[in-house]
Chain A
Amino acid sequence: MPEQISRETVAKVARLARLHLDEAEIDRMTDQLAGMLDHFRDVDALDLTTVEPLNQPIPLSNVLRDDVEAPSLDHDEVLGVAPATQDGRFRVPPIIGFEE
C-alpha cells in the first residue's frame, strides 16, 4: 500500500482532473482523501494474489452494429445550446501549454 497521500499529490491530481482548488480546499481534500484511502487498508487483510479482477459484472462479447448511417443531430439545435460558437463551430479560449 502506498504511503499516505500528500498535499502535493492532491494538487497534482486536481490539475489532472482540471479542478481548481484553493489552498484551503486542498488541505481539506487531503484530509478527506487520506481518510478514505486509510479505510481501504482493510483490504490488505485479503489474499488477492490469485484473484482475477472483475471489470464487468455480466460477461458479454462481440456486441456489434451494422455500418448503416443514421441522420445527424440538427446542427442548429446542438450549436444553439453550446456556450460559444462561431462559423458553425464550437469556440474555445486560446490553447496555451498544449501540444498541437
Chain B
Amino acid sequence: MSTERLIDGWELVVGLEVHVELATKTKLFSASANRFGDEPNTNIDPVTLGLPGALPVLNRHAVELAMRLGLALNCRVQPCTFHRKNYFYPDLPKAYQISQYDQPLNVDGWLMLPGEVRIGIERAHLEEDTGKSTHAGGAEGRIQGSDYSLIDFNRAGVPLVEIVSRPDIRTSEQAKQYVSELRSILLAVGASDAKMEEGSMRCDVNVSVHKPGTPFGTRCEIKNVNSIRSVGRAIEYEARRQIDLISSGGVVKQQTLHWDDASGRTNVLRTKEDADDYRYFLEPDLVPLVPDVAWVERIRAALPPLPAARRLALSKLTGAAIESEAVAVVVERGQDDYINAVATVGGDASRALVYVQQAFADEPSTPRVPAGDLAALSLLEKNAKVTATQAKTLLAELVANGGGDVLAMAKAKGFEAMDSGALESLVDQAIAADPDAWAKYKAGEHKAMGALVGAVMKLSTGKADGKAVTALLQTKASS
C-alpha cells in the first residue's frame, strides 16, 4: 500500500514539519555550548536558564546555516523577525520560546523526490530548542502516572530550523523519501548532523485523507515520529484509522496524536479545542534580521553541490543507474568525492563504487584508505590480476589497515598473477596426466574441460585464474 496513490478510493494527503538542530558551536542566542551528550545542566548560562535580566543575542553562524539550508531547498531568503511564543512548560525556561511567526527567514521553496515529484516547502524558520524532561517514578519514563520529572537545560536554546512542507505528499513512500532526501541535503550543506536517533532531526507528520477531486479532509498531527521507518508506519496506520473511521460513519477530529513505535499505534494527545493560546508578539529583546542581496549571494555561492546533482555526476562517472542504491548510499555518506579521486588517479570508477558501497559504511566521507590504493585494487581486478574473491579479501585488509600497498599484499597472500609461461607448463602437466580427458575435450566433449581446469587449479594451489586456464585450453585444442 505504501506506493499506491489510492487506498480503497481514498487519497492520502501528507505534510511534514521537520525540526533539525543546527551544527553550531553555541546556542541560538547565547555563547553556551551546543553539545549533545554532556552531563546534565553543564552547558548553561543566564540566557539558557532564562535568568532574570538575561538578554538574547543572535548567533551569526546559526543564521548562515539556516540560510544555507533555505537556499538548498530553493527558498526565498527574506527579511524576518522573531516572536515570543508564550506557554508554560518546565523545559521551557523563559516560559516563552523565541521563534519566527509571520515573517520567517526562508519561504516558498521545494524539494525534488525521485521521479521528478516536487514537494513544496512553505517555510524554514529559526527557533530555539527546549530543555529535556525525564519522567520518573510510576510507569518509568512515561509522563502519565509519573511521580516527578527532572529537567536538563543543556539542550535549551540550541538552534533549530523548522522545515514545513506543503501538503504535497501523497504516499507513505514519498514521505520517507522526503525525509531521507531532506536528511541528505542537511548533511551535504553541513547544516546539521541530522541524527534522528539523537533527536537532532525530529518529524511531526500531518495526515488527512479525501476522495480525489474533493477538498482536503480534516488533518491530524502525529508527533514523536523519530525514524524514517516510523514515518512510513505512522502514516499508514493513521491513514487506515481515518479511512476506517469515515467508512464506518465517523468524523475525523482535528487532533494532535502521539506515535507509539512499540505498539505501532497513534494515541490522542489533545484535541484542537483546548489548544493553548500562545499570545505571539514581536520579541522586544531582538531586532529584525535583514539579509541583504550580497549576503545571500555569498552564502549561495558557497553552497556545496547538492545530493541530486551529485547523484547524477556519480551515476555518469560510474555508469551505475542514478536511482541505484549504491549511488544513493555513497552520496548520502558523502563518499562520492572519494570515488572521483579514485577515478582521477586512474582507478576504475565502477569497481570503486562497489567497493565503497560494500566496505566503507563505517568510514568518514573521506575514507582513511588512500584513493591511490583503492585505484590500484580496482585495476588489479579489472585487469584480471586477481579474482573477484581475492579482490574482496584485499579490500577488507585495506579497510582494516587504513590503506596499504595492494601489490605487495596480493603477493604476500600468493595472489600474484601467474605469468603465462608458468600457467602453460601447468596446463601441459594436466594434459599429460589425463590424456583421456584431453582426447574427449578435443573431440568436442565440453564437459571434459572441467576435469582439466580443476587439475590445473589443483596444481597451481588455487593461484591460477580459471578464465585464463579455460582460454589456454581452448587455444591448445584448436591449434
Contact = CB atoms under 8 A, between A and B. Distances in A.
A and B touch in the complex (CB under 8 A): yes
A95 B25 contact: no
Given A90-B90, A92-B151, A69 B31 contact: yes
Given A67-B25, A67-B62, A98 B89 contact: yes
Chief secondary structure at chain B's binding surface: loop
Chief secondary structure at chain A's binding surface: loop
11 contacts: A56-B284, A67-B26, A70-B26, A73-B45, A78-B41, A90-B90, A90-B150, A98-B89, A99-B270, A100-B223, A100-B224
B428 interface: no
Interface string A81-96: 0000011111111110
B33 A69 contact: yes
A97 to B, nearest CB: 9
Interface in B36-56: 39-46, 49
Contacts of A61: 287-290
A40 B131 CA distance: 39
The residue in B31, B256, B289 that gathers the most chain A C-beta atoms within 10 A of its C-beta is B31
Contact of B148 (A63, A65, A92): A92
B436 interface: no
Given A65-B58, A70-B31, A100-B224, A89 B150 contact: yes
Contacts of A90: 41, 90, 150-151, 153
Given A67-B26, A68-B26, A90-B90, 12 more contacts: A16-B277, A55-B282, A61-B287, A63-B286, A64-B60, A65-B57, A66-B61, A67-B24, A75-B42, A87-B40, A88-B41, A91-B148
A10 to B, nearest CB: 14
A56 to B, nearest CB: 6
B32 A63 contact: no
A89 B149 CA distance: 9
A75 B41 contact: yes
A81 to B, nearest CB: 10
A94 B224 CA distance: 21
